[in-house]
Amino acid sequence: MTLVKYAPKVTVTVLSGLSTNGRIPEGAEVRLGCHADANPTDVAYRWFINEEPLIGDYTTELILHNVTRKHHDAIVKCEVHNAVGKSEESQTLDISCK
């Protein structure tokens, strides 16, 4: 049986940092997760904020320390590549100012 090869299917979720109202308080540490379903499963992750690549050894998780109001409405994107192609998904940060 031959397995079908396909580009990653990507989902991005906020893992922690949300307050009870679903917003991110200013000064919080935010963890975002990137899940990719792909075949072949050998994938590479890249993270971006507002189309600017983030430098670092990030894989399935991105941690943003001490978010501020400048992060409000920022678009955090996870891009995943495998031998077949690439896919991406993003989340918009909703920062509540103190």
Reported as a single tens digit per residue, the pLDDT across 20-75 is 788 899 999 999 999 999 999 999 999 999 999 998 877 899 999 999 999 999 99
Contact between residue 54 and residue 23 where contact means Cβ atoms under 8 Å apart: no
Q: What is the pTM of this model?
A: 0.89
Task: Give the strands of the sheet with 52-53, arranged side by side.
Answer: 52-53, 44-49, 75-81, 86-92
Q: Give the pLDDT of residue 2.
A: 63
pLDDT at 1 over 70: no
User: CA 23 to CA 42: how far, in whole Å?
Assistant: 34
pLDDT at 98 over 70: no
